């Protein structure tokens, strides 16, 4: 049952997003600091893939989802670019990096080169990868674009945004953090319901961050979110890159 569930999702991703199976569609590769999660502040090389099977209404990288763009890079070229920066911490992000047919090969080669690998994913697609930290970000109902683009993508997004089988497989097999984007107080109730569907989740690895693309939006929500995290035993994560650089590419 698990293999069938995972394979069904994988079939969509391969057909929908990738034509040249010898290369990876890359939106950008850049050097910055990790802005979120357990490794916040860590200088890291970011490999941002292009293409996503979801359409979050508040997506802060629409150039990888709503309007995917980028260029095809060979794995050799990606590795060469990564080695040009002075950090062994590498973050593979997107879009949805698990849509890449080559993600297993890419992560294995990064790992054999000595990289510490974080992968950021919505946890809807599973593939066995080399990874030191799986940053899982299951999407809550606040992500569904009921009105954007006249609701064109809303039902598709709703059908795909949560895959408990995939989430549990990642939790069982990898070191992880669970990140949730919160907008309203009721989102904490939804997070609790989601966690109840999973086995053996460590509350200390559940991290909450505010929905927002500007410094003022994040600061206005930070206090009540922190207090709610304290009540639930969850961690709070800032979005340090926005605090420092604003919401712009390459940071």
Residue 171: inside a domain: yes
| Tokens at 157, concatenated | 């997004």
The whole-number average pLDDT for the span 126-134 is 98
pTM of the predicted protein model: 0.90
Is the pLDDT assigned to residue 236 strictly greater than 80? Answer: yes
**In-domain check, residue 89:** yes
Cα separations (Å) of 6 from 137, 158, 165, 245?
Answer: 17, 17, 8, 37
> 14 lies in which domain range?
2-175
Average pLDDT, integer, range 67-88:
97
Cα Rg of the chain, angstroms? 17
| pLDDT tens track for 138-187 | 999 999 999 999 999 999 999 999 999 999 999 999 999 999 999 999 99
Instruction: Count up the domains in the chain and report the number.
Output: 1
Q: How many CB atoms lie within 10 A of CB 93?
A: 20
Residue 16 lies in a domain: yes
Please name every residue paired with 28 in a beta bridge, in sequence order, or none if there are none: 48
- Would 198 be classed as within a structural domain? no
Is there a domain that residue 218 lies in? no
When the pLDDT of each residue in the chain is averaged and rounded to a whole number, the result is 92
d(CA 8, CA 39): 33
> What CATH code is carried by the domain that includes residue 157?
3.20.20.70
Q: Within a domain: residue 216?
A: no
DSSP 125-193: S------SEEEE-PPPGGG--SSGGGGTTHHHHHHHS--HHHHHHHHHHS-EEEEEEE-STHHHHHHHH
pLDDT per residue as tens digits for the range 18-51:
444 568 999 999 999 999 999 999 999 999 999 9
Is residue 122 a part of any domain in this protein? yes
In a domain, 224, yes or no: no
The closest of 102, 115, 131, 130 to 23, measured between CA atoms, is: 102
What pLDDT score was predicted for residue 73?
97
């Amino acid at each position: 049952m698990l293999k069938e569930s995972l394979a069904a999702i994988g079939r969509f991703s391969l057909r929908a997003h990738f034509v040249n199976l010898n290369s990876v569609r890359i939106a950008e590769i850049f050097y910055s600091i990790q802005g979120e999660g357990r490794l916040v502040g860590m200088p890291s090389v970011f490999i941002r893939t292009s293409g996503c099977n979801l359409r979050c209404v508040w997506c802060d990288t629409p150039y990888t989802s709503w309007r995917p763009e980028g260029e095809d890079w060979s794995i050799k070229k990606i590795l060469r670019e990564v080695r040009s920066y002075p950090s062994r911490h590498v973050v593979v992000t997107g879009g949805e990096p698990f849509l890449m047919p080559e993600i297993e090969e890419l992560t294995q080669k990064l790992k054999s080169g000595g990289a510490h690998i974080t992968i950021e994913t919505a946890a809807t697609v599973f593939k066995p990868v080399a990874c030191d930290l799986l940053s899982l970000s299951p999407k809550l109902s606040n992500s569904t674009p009921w009105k954007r683009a006249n609701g064109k993508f809303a039902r598709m997004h709703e059908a795909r945004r949560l895959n408990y089988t995939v989430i549990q497989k990642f939790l069982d097999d990898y070191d992880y953090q669970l990140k949730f984007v919160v907008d309203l107080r009721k989102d904490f109730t939804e997070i609790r319901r989601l966690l109840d569907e999973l086995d053996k989740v460590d509350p200390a690895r559940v991290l909450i961050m505010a929905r927002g693309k500007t410094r003022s939006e994040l600061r206005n929500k930070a206090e009540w979110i922190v207090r709610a995290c304290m009540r639930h035993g969850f961690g709070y994560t800032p979005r340090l890159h926005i605090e420092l650089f604003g919401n712009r590419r390459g940071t």
